Structure 1
Amino acid sequence: YELRARHTVVATGRRGADWLERMCREHRIAHGPGPVDIGVRVEVRNEVMRTVNDVLYESKLIGYPKPFKNKVRTFCQNPGGFVSQENYDGGLAVVNGHSYKERKSANTNLAILCSHNFSEPFDQPIAYAQKVGELTNMLGDGRILVQRLGDILDGKRTWDKELRRSNVAPTLGDAVAGDITAAMPYRAMTNILAFMLVVDEVVPGFAAPETLLYSPELKFYSNRVKMDEGFRTSVRGLRCLGDSSGWTRGLMMASVMGYLAGRSLADA
């Protein structure tokens, strides 16, 4: 079917970022590559995070660790929560986390994400992150990989028997014990480890040998559509909103963007 409209709004969300990038290429919608986040989901016992959890449900810790000084941040903190697996289009398995109102675990999980900014001539950051995820999935036979921090620092993989007797019981029961460093880019892994060691000075026990790291944690919002203050793209009558546009990174900012776009459309 062919539909015609004076105003069209695309707001496909983060999962639609790859699709929107293809549409931008196909229809020559002005855009440019933005950052892509590659990281891990960390799980520790609630006692470790108690001083933080008591005052902040979701803390936001940001650092620029040496030697690369990329931005590294915490994201999506879940006190008493559970690590989970979700599958993107094409079957890519990525790790996430959530909390329940009534049901609680003995652990807190949160993401640690390393932002990568690419320059010319490379312009496919989403595909780059997907390849990292595919390599990790290959090592885990289609499931999430988990490794103890102590094993990473000792240069060895984690074995299932070691995971079973660990003081931190993984809340993702079917995660595969292995070696996430075999698939994680060196730059990202170095940044994450340096960041965790610094956080440990503020939150003692955060970088304990028993701390669990799950991989891959990926955030796709790298296609940044070029727009004016009314969210108008280079194609007449087309506006793009939300995480897929590359300009927001969460529900609150995406909601504000939708509200402002609504006011702009009402005045059009």
Structure 2
Amino acid sequence: MIRINQLKLKVDHTEEALWSKAAKTLKLPVKEIESLQIIKQSVDARKKEELHFTYTVDVKVPNEKTVLHKVNNVNVILSEKKEYHFPAKGTEKMSSRPVIIGAGPAGLFCGVMLARNGYRPILLERGESVDERRKAVDEFWKNGLLKPDSNVQFGEGGAGTFSDGKLNTLVKDPLMRNRKVLELFVEFGADPSILYINKPHIGTDVLSGIVKRMREEINRLGGEVRFNSRVTDFMIKDGKITGVVAGGEEIPSEILVLAIGHSSRDTFEILESRGVPMEAKAFAVGLRIQHPQKSINKCQYGVEDHSVLGAADYKLTHKSKNGRGVYTFCMCPGGYVVNASSEDKMLAVNGMSYHDRAGENANSALIVTVTPEDFGATGPLSGVHYQRELEKAAYLSCAGKIPIQLYGDFVKGQLSKSFGDVEPAFKGQYDFTSIRDFLPPYLTESLIDGVEAFDRKIRGFKRPDAILAGVESRTSSPVRIPRNEEFESSIKGIYPCGEGAGYAGGITSAAMDGLKVAEAIAARFQRLPI
């Protein structure tokens, strides 16, 4: 196979044009190309008047070495296909089935891989199935009645189910786990283009069907996914896990995967009480900001609407004058700001997009790095305490509605009275308030400094009628559960996994961590006899 890098074509090109460009690069007739596979596609928008796709492709042709020698181009090389490999089965015997807590990306991908290799895992999900969960979330957005165990944070699919469904990650991938995750998403219903586009996304509507089919696969292969099964205790004896208590039932297991998600605060408290080592970690908090999607498109693509590229995105970073990092996170093109609360009388927001990203607004988290020194408490759960204090204040500021304020008024410290040209796009009730009143001064200072800097990169970012909403407090886990090189806690048999345990930061990295833990379990243990 020959790999061609840096193939550039206008964004409205045809498939025939791609094959023709590849053939021209190889100095061959098109008919001599036996196959062509797109490995990567990214947008080159540096020249707004002439937008391009840049491709990496693998092509199969006769006499590859002869072709390479004739072409003599640094962008044309031999390509060796790399594949993901699940390890050979271990030799240590299990006395009971492995238990996975949490049916988010980490738990589901761990569960699928274990099920496909004969380990028949039991997945315990505190929330409801994705269909029932969606009903609960819609009802909450409509009337504010929160289900503590089935909401935007908890339930089948995890917190990522109500998001943009982004699948990009910065995790290095020499063992092809990232590719395997994307291939599994495609197998369970995602568009095959996620295998090669530079910033793949699924969308909340499509993701719901995918996670349901993953659950069905686990059940089909002898595993078991149990909903409404919140774990209320951990059975630990002589430094080893022996089982858990869920729904009043003791479930024995010497293998326990903690894929609990970043919002399982009560579970963190139980783990701490049982002596499972944990530590506070830095994360980020802030607000959501909304702009008209057309203005983002104009800045990024040079036009307000682009029929091929769709809704534009952005990713911005800045070091504020006070030394704190400020950055945008989980940007949702054509999306909505949603009430993402999971605890009574507390309020948190997140962003969400459907697959078509057809909403009028762009939104993103506008967040600031905070460290254990900021938390105002000590101990492994001090970050949880910090989050809760912010969320309580946000809830009280608008009696449970999403607190909002226009950016210009936020800077001036005055209450907003009406919207400008930016129309609100929310899921959940909202109301005007003074957001500055419940943010620590260092966050306000950092956010304003960041927005001013971002306006130099995205013209109009600091427009006075941009809509702020708060508080964005669930960017990542405030806790890390240490594990060794075999992915095991110092409490034997416990495998901390995914975002909640502090080892991931998004859907793809959480899913990849689920693969890692499944591999570690399989490399050590024999599967149970049927």
> How high is the TM-score relative to the length of structure 2?
0.47
Partner of 2:227: none
- 1:13 aligned onto 2:249: no
User: Contact 1:48/1:203 (CA < 8 Å) preserved in 2?
Assistant: no
Please point out which of 300, 311, 318 is paired with 1:52.
300
Partner of 1:116: 370
Partner of 2:94: none
Question: The residue matched to 2:395 in structure 1 has which SS?
Answer: helix
Distance, in Å, in 1 between the alignment partners of 2:458 and 2:489 is 44
Please point out which of 463, 467, 480 is paired with 1:212.
467
Of the two structures, which has the highest relative contact order with CA contacts closer than 8 Å and spacing of 6 or more? Answer: 1
Residue deviations 1:63-90 (CA, integer Å, cap 9, x gap): 22111x2222211112221222122132
Distance, in Å, in 1 between the alignment partners of 2:365 and 2:491 is 36
Any unmatched runs of 5+ in structure 1? none
Distance, in Å, in 2 between the alignment partners of 1:98 and 1:191 is 25
Distance, in Å, in 2 between the alignment partners of 1:63 and 1:186 is 18
Partner of 2:122: none
Please point out which of 12, 20, 27 is paired with 2:274.
27
Please point out which of 445, 448, 456 is paired with 1:193.
448
- 1:202 aligned onto 2:449: no
**Residues 133 and 7 of structure 1: CA distance in aligned 2, closer, same or farther (over 3 Å):** same
Distance, in Å, in 1 between the alignment partners of 2:300 and 2:319 is 21
Partner of 1:83: 337
User: Contact 1:58/1:76 (CA < 8 Å) preserved in 2?
Assistant: no
Question: The residue matched to 1:214 in structure 2 has which SS?
Answer: strand
Code of the residue aligned with 1:142 in structure 2: it is G
State how 1:35-184 maps to structure 2 within 5 Å.
Answer: 35-50=282-297, 51-52=299-300, 58-67=313-322, 69-102=323-356, 104-119=358-373, 122-123=378-379, 124-159=382-417, 162-163=418-419, 166-172=420-426, 174-184=429-439
Residue deviations 1:192-239 (CA, integer Å, cap 9, x gap): 111111000011100011111001111151111111122110101111
Question: The residue matched to 1:93 in structure 2 has which SS?
Answer: coil
Moved more, 44-53 or 241-250: 44-53
Please point out which of 243, 251, 257 is paired with 1:3.
251
User: Contact 2:332/2:352 (CA < 8 Å) preserved in 1?
Assistant: yes
Distance, in Å, in 1 between the alignment partners of 2:279 and 2:310 is 39
User: Contact 1:20/1:244 (CA < 8 Å) preserved in 2?
Assistant: no
Partner of 2:484: 228
User: Contact 2:284/2:368 (CA < 8 Å) preserved in 1?
Assistant: yes
Moved more, 27-36 or 117-126: 117-126
Distance, in Å, in 1 between the alignment partners of 2:281 and 2:506 is 16
**Residues 121 and 167 of structure 1: CA distance in aligned 2, closer, same or farther (over 3 Å):** closer
Distance, in Å, in 2 between the alignment partners of 1:96 and 1:112 is 11
State how 1:245-260 maps to structure 2 within 5 Å.
Answer: 245-260=501-516
Distance, in Å, in 2 between the alignment partners of 1:90 and 1:174 is 16
Q: Give the drift of 1:48.
A: 2.5
Distance, in Å, in 2 between the alignment partners of 1:217 and 1:22 is 22
Distance, in Å, in 1 between the alignment partners of 2:334 and 2:400 is 26
Any unmatched runs of 5+ in structure 2? 1-248, 302-308, 525-530
> How high is the TM-score relative to the length of structure 1?
0.91
Question: The residue matched to 1:257 in structure 2 has which SS?
Answer: helix
Residue deviations 1:24-81 (CA, integer Å, cap 9, x gap): 31111112100132110000112331133759854332222111x2222211112221
**Residues 77 and 121 of structure 1: CA distance in aligned 2, closer, same or farther (over 3 Å):** closer
Code of the residue aligned with 1:267 in structure 2: it is A
Runs (4+) of structure 1 moved beyond 6 Å? none
User: Contact 1:41/1:217 (CA < 8 Å) preserved in 2?
Assistant: yes
Instruction: Quote the sequence identity (%).
Output: 21
Distance, in Å, in 1 between the alignment partners of 2:317 and 2:270 is 33
| Structure (1 or 2) with the larger CA radius of gyration | 2
Question: The residue matched to 2:252 in structure 1 has which SS?
Answer: coil
**Residues 252 and 56 of structure 1: CA distance in aligned 2, closer, same or farther (over 3 Å):** farther
Question: The residue matched to 1:72 in structure 2 has which SS?
Answer: strand
Question: The residue matched to 1:248 in structure 2 has which SS?
Answer: coil
Code of the residue aligned with 2:508 in structure 1: it is M
Distance, in Å, in 2 between the alignment partners of 1:178 and 1:94 is 15
Q: Give the drift of 1:155.
A: 2.1
User: Contact 1:57/1:77 (CA < 8 Å) preserved in 2?
Assistant: no
Question: The residue matched to 1:37 in structure 2 has which SS?
Answer: strand
User: Contact 1:132/1:185 (CA < 8 Å) preserved in 2?
Assistant: no
